[in-house]
Amino acid sequence: MIFGTVKTEHSQGCYLAHSMRLSKKRLGKGTFITASIQSELTDNGVESVLVAQLEDGDVHEDTAAQVIANPLKGQGVSLTAARTGRVNLQATVEGLCHFDAQTIVNANSVDEGITIATLPENCWVAQGRMVATIKIIPYAVEQAKVHQVVEMLMNRPISVMAAIPHTAELIQTRLSAVKESVLDKTSRVTSHRLVTRQVTLTHEQRCNHDTEELRERLATALTRQPHWILIVGASAISDRGDVIPKAIVAAGGSIDRFGIPVDPGNLALLAHIGNTTIVGLPGCARSPRYNGFDMLLDRLACNVAITQTWLNGLSVGGLLTEIADRPAPRIIAAGQQHIGALILAAGSSRRAGSINKLLVPLSDNTAMVTRVAQEVCRSKVSQVIAVTGHQHEHVESALEATAVQCVHNKAHHTGMASSVVIGVSQLLEQDAILVCLGDMPHVKAELIDQLIEAYRQTPGKSIFLPVADEQRGNPVLFSKVFFDSLLALTGDIGARRIVQQHPHEVFEVPVQTDSILKDYDTPAELASLEKW
């Protein structure tokens, strides 16, 4: 490719290197100069232009990007049309982003003008998310280099593997020091992990932390032929000769791997008995926070093979975020506190009739949920997550123009708690979370800031809620002390249960507006929306 300035009379067949504004139109960067465009340039007094000229053996940027993108398009991925030398790969399903990282590295080594950028390997992505982009830097690249890259990428696509329905059974062992409430919490946390990955927890068994008793429970579970059996030990597995691996072997199984280079999650165990996968969960799996078990679970849920090479490769990036459940956390966060906001926008509006109340327009034609999001974003929160569910495409469209990140809750029909859990799980890096309702459009940013200021000025409390006329309302702010409690919620009560259970942690913030009490559920209430 030749890049330089030429006289306008010789510019036909070249590509304009920079945008230009003529008397009646604007010519964009990369415009192909035809005879008519050349005439327009001349008529506008342009004597010379900076252009790119393709030589024999060159491939135009759009063509090169499209040709390279084609072999990268795998399962669960779509391609955008090439434009300005760029093609994007987008997920058509929710699932595991799966590709060979070294292949991408090798392809980027062929020519500096050919670039491929991806999300991290083996990350979980939402439907519609961009997973990779191919960008050709100059206006053209050598055809031989394009062919070389294509050869590298053949049969090594980027795919998004959707979760496939599976069944699982849970076995928990107990010692005298382990409370039943701990086992109950573990069951809830595990069940939520599974349901979000299309896995049904069909049975749970509990037994003493004893090799023979566990072997018997395994034998019973195997008669039902689940895809997986998950084992949570009262004591963490410390050796291949420990209770859990010995029981698996005694039941006719084989240990495939004990220990993975991920922290938290080191003490995970992988085994199999026939066609059933056995996972010995690390102790940190009792917490809903992301750990090594989640990395294994993503792959299992999508039927992607777990190889020794892949497991060893987890070491780079395997030092995960610190979790508060550790007996002795190694790092204590310092500095300014950050508040995340969670907007609950997944409900089906059953009491509102045939409409979705969140989409009802206000007097200025702004949807109710949009107004809520606008006020939350105007406040002093540092990150905003909206959990959608019913008619999620329409709700997410209403939030498109805001700074809100939307997360779809496929299990929204199970109750509000599932939306709280999903939302909180996206905000674990925050110091506190403000839980907001999507049908309270009159709560202003200034009121939200009152709650945040109260939280920052009152270190002895962990739950902050507004009060008007001696009535408590919404939104409610929870410090990270209660993140695990929020993540363990079930049913349709939501976070109110935690407020009721911990009255000594509640700090009431007096406010001068009853907007904190005004939500809209019924047709009559919605009819009064603009009048309030």
Domains of the chain by residue range: 2-53, 58-162, 166-313, 339-527
Cis peptide before 475 (omega within 30 of 0): yes
Alpha helix stretches (DSSP H) within 196-328:
211-222, 243-250, 292-301, 308-313
Is the pLDDT at 169 greater than 60? The verdict is yes
Cα three-residue angle 432-178-198, rounded to 5 degrees: 60
Query: Where is pLDDT greater, at 258 or 328?
Result: 258
Q: Give the pLDDT confidence score for residue 25 in this predicted structure.
A: 87
CATH T-level fold of 2-53: Molybdopterin biosynthesis moea protein, domain 2 (3.90.105)
Return d(Cα 160, Cα 90) in angstroms, integer: 9
3-state secondary structure of 269: strand
Half-sphere exposure of 306 (CA within 13 A, CB side): 22
Q: Letter for the amino acid at 451?
A: L
Q: Could you report the per-residue pLDDT of 372-408, keeping only the tens digit for each?
A: 999 999 999 999 999 999 999 999 999 998 889 999 9
Looking at domain 166-313, which CATH architecture does it have? 3-Layer(aba) Sandwich (3.40)
- pTM for the predicted model, two decimal places: 0.61
Cβ–Cβ under 8 Å, residues 229 and 270: no
Cβ–Cβ under 8 Å, residues 430 and 423: no
Least confident piece of the model among 19-23, 106-110, 112-116, 443-447: 19-23
Name the token pair of 120. 């991290």
Alpha helix stretches (DSSP H) within 73-156:
101-108, 143-153
DSSP element (H, E) containing 424:
helix 416-425
Is the pLDDT at 126 greater than 70? The verdict is yes
Q: According to the CATH classification, is domain 58-162 in 1.10.12? A: no
Q: Give the pLDDT confidence score for residue 112 in this predicted structure.
A: 97
Average pLDDT over the chain, rounded to an integer: 90
Looking at domain 339-527, which CATH architecture does it have? Alpha-Beta Complex (3.90)
- Partners of 255 in the β-ladder: 271
Q: Give the pLDDT confidence score for residue 353 in this predicted structure.
A: 67
Same fold, 2-53 and 58-162: no
Q: Give the pLDDT confidence score for residue 21 in this predicted structure.
A: 87
Q: Give the pLDDT confidence score for residue 269 in this predicted structure.
A: 98
Q: Could you report the per-residue pLDDT of 267-317, keeping only the tens digit for each?
A: 999 999 999 999 999 998 988 778 899 999 999 999 999 999 999 999 998
Pairing of strands 339-345, 159-162: unpaired
Q: Which long-range contacts (CB under 8 A, 24 or more apart) does 143-149 make?
A: 143/57, 143/58, 143/59, 144/57, 145/110, 145/111, 145/113, 145/114, 146/59, 146/64, 146/67, 146/68, 146/114, 148/110, 149/68, 149/107, 149/110, 149/111, 149/114
